[in-house]
Amino acid sequence: MDQKDSVEIYQKVDLTNDVTNVNEAALKRERKLRTKIDLCVVPTVTLLYLMCFVDRSNIGNARLAGFEKDLGLKGYDYNTVLSIFYISYILFEIPATLCCKLIGPGWFLPLTTLGFGAMSVATAFVHTRAQACAVRFLLGIFEAGVMPGCAYYLSRWYKRSELTFRLGLWMTMAPLSGAFGGLMASGILKLKSFGSLHGWQMIFAIEGIITIGLSLVALITLTDRPETARWMTEEEKEIAVNRVKSERLNQAMLLDKIDMTKLKRGFSNPITLATSFIFMLNNITVLGISFFLPTIIRSIYPGRTTVQVQLLTVPPYILGAASTVLITTLSWRLNSRQTLIALTGPLVVVGYAIFLATMNPNIRYAAVFLSASTTFSLGAMTNAQVSANVLSDSARSVAIGTNAMFGYIGGLIATWTYLPSDSPRYFIGNGINLGCAATWTIVAVGAGIWMKYDNKKRDEREAGAHEEVAGLTQKEIQDLEWKHPEWRWKA
């Protein structure tokens, strides 16, 4: 080897090292920025959703404290009061999500939180079934945009692989709200009074006031999007935008204006519809647990006091929250969602099968843990999956809204799964939930197989992809969304 060859080799090595060092430095800056976003964005959104779920499900705790008796509710009146909430929720789901996009999550989420906090306080002053139904209807309007709004908001900040875990942290508030709500209700009920309010009235009033206070803080702390973040430098803003934009095929801008063609593509997307159906089935189970767990545990341990029953609702929710973090962490590390969605069903099936098979109180209480173990994770997993399988911001907003709307159709069904006439064994409610878990497992497996099949078909015709879009304008190409020949489904 002569000196010239030696110099050339060392120059190549130096160049490779320079590129490696640049890449490592870029990755280090991105990791540091992601941690900064985690600390500045996720906590506020998480707390908002916690109180959203608390203010929605605290009626289950109030029921044990005399809500039904004081309002003179009989027969199926309680189920009717629950149902009214979901009627308004379903009707306003997609409009609320589009409103969130129009005015911006930084304003929309705190203001709608202020609204449902006020409705929680108002519930403390109802005296009749009609008044309770009216307030619950308004509560549904204000809460309709919270879940899809939060998921949509987080999708502005994170890449696909990262989003599932952050949604998981956020969605742990669903099970934790049950634990938190049970503990809070137990503590509140130990008070003699709160002003002129007593018993179950204090639960709604105190928790509503906490929500209102949190909404006012969120008005100050919640940043609408990366470009407006006061806590980021200009360089960090550019990195935050570009890293999310890098995953958007043929999209010229990260945040587009509302476009009807893209909205239709987001709604008609096959994976949006399949995943939304899974979430509908899942929410029958999740909200059945949220609304009826105190009632179920009272049927298991009829001799326990109200406070003891409230406390027994806490451990299953803790397990549900821990499982949600575990499953979404696996999803992030594996960059996979569909298989994990399918794997959530079997444990839930076993739990409800045990409910149907025995009346032994300790075994039935153990079955509650199985039923709650994996079911809460699908809120994060399904929202992440529909978000990963659309392109534009417009399509993403309507896809997440559709997923949430289907989910709360499941919530409406859930309000009629545990009926007084079915107590104490609840064959109907437990049987429905068993069937839902089995069905969503089958649908998830089927959707995963279809995605692989369709991706293979797209690969086979990839050579003619350019010809398929030839002659189309840039806007028409962008509007193709999942119909673009270069698009591939993300399982």
Tell me the C-alpha to C-alpha distance, in Å, between residue 109 and each of 45, 297, 324.
9, 34, 23
Taking all residues of the chain, what is their mean pLDDT, rounded to a whole number? 85
The pLDDT of residue 4 is: 53
Min mean pLDDT across 250-259, 349-358, 444-453 is at 250-259
pLDDT (tens digit per residue) in 99-126: 888 888 989 999 999 999 999 999 999 9
pLDDT value at 248 more than 90: no
Confidence label for 256 from pLDDT (cuts 50, 70 and 90): low
Rounded mean pLDDT, 49-69? 85
Is pLDDT above 80 for 469?
no
pLDDT score recorded for residue 124: 94
Residue among 310, 265, 491, 291 nearest 410 (CA) = 291
Query: If you average pLDDT over residues 30-57, what whole number do you get?
Result: 87
Domain 12-245+257-483 class, CATH top level: mainly alpha
CA-derived radius of gyration, the chain? 25
For residue 7, name the pLDDT band (cuts at 50, 70, 90). very low
Average pLDDT over residues 385-411: 86
Residue 1 banded pLDDT, cuts 50, 70, 90: low
**Gap between the Cα atoms of 348 and 370, Å rounded:** 6
Give the start-to-end residue ranges of the domains of the chain. 12-245+257-483
Per DSSP (E only), the strands in 153-260 are none
Per-residue pLDDT tens digits for 318-373: 898 899 889 999 998 888 899 999 999 999 999 999 989 999 999 999 999 999 88
In this structure, the number of other CB atoms found within 10 A of the CB of residue 32 comes to 12
pLDDT tens digits along 169-181:
877 777 777 677 7
Q: How far apart are the first and last CA of the chain?
A: 51
Cβ count near 179 (within 10 Å): 19
pLDDT at residue number 129 = 93
